[in-house]
Chains A and B, each alone.
Chain A
């Protein structure tokens, strides 16, 4: 039972490069989320999805895009990487109220 799988675990990007953070869950959860964690700042919601084909912005969506073509996958796209996007990114899924299962995170550095 894999839960929520995030890839890659680490990545260094140059300013202006693009990349996709992958997230897959095998629990058939409808709700999926992307959060970022900056030092001393807690987790901030970037985007979320309530089901395949349905996504919406969270608190800090600028510079990111998402898609949800299947229940299992919820990739996060960075189009033009900026140093402000240096962070640890967590994907999570849930079946209902707050019962989140988190992935192990992707540590991204933009230089």
Chain B
């Protein structure tokens, strides 16, 4: 039962263009969403997050959009740079729903982003 899904295993974009990475979830208890970036031979690093009370959060070139009715979120990177080439993981948690989440995250399968110069 994959509660968080990233249906695109890979994405290739040209430098300077927009990268859009998508994520779908099924658990309606999820109320906090995060994106992590992972380079080879390194651990994932936190990129950006959004709580369910918002529909958009921006941080520099990165914007996350949340559509609660569709149970869908997306990460926009504008403009894309070759250094953005990495695996991107979407993650979700039920932080506000109750006291037992303890920060546990459910991850998607990841999307490999390649940005060509």
| Contact bitstring A88-111, B, C-beta under 8 A = 1, else 0 | 001010101111111111000000
Contact A4 B95 (CB under 8 A): no
Given contacts A42-B110, A98-B91, contact A103 B103 (CB under 8 A): no
- Which B residues contact A (CB, under 8 angstroms)? 4, 6, 9, 32, 34, 36, 41-46, 49, 89, 91, 93, 95, 102-110
B-chain residues with CB within 8 Å of residue A100 when the two chains form the complex: 36, 44, 46, 103, 105
A13 proximal to B (CB < 8 A): no
Residue among B36, B49, B103, B104 with most chain A CB within 10 A:
B103
Chain A: interface size category? 20 to 34
Binds B, one of A14-22, A43-51, A61-69, A71-79: A43-51
Most buried by B among A4, A45, A102: A102
CB of A41 within 8 Å of the partner chain? yes
What is the interface of chain A, defined by CB distance below 8 A to chain B? 4, 31, 33, 35, 40-45, 48, 50, 56, 58, 90, 92, 94, 96-105
- Complex contact A105–B43 (CB within 8 A): yes
A102 cross-chain contacts in B, Cβ below 8 A:
43-45
Contact, CB under 8 Å: A40 / B9? yes
Q: A42-B89, A42-B108, A43-B89 are in contact. Are A96 and B45 (CB under 8 A)?
A: no
Q: In terms of DSSP, what is the predominant structure of the interface of chain A?
A: strand
**Chain B residues with CB below 8 A from A4, complex form:** 43
Nearest residue, chain B, Cβ from A43: B107
Cα distance A90–B89 in the bound complex, in angstroms: 14
Check A92/B104 contact, CB under 8 A, given A40-B9, A41-B109: no
**Which residues of B lie under 8 Å from residue A58 when comparing CB positions?**
104
User: How near does chain A come to B93, taking the closest CB pair, in angstroms?
Assistant: 6
Contacts of A56 in B (CB 8 A): 102
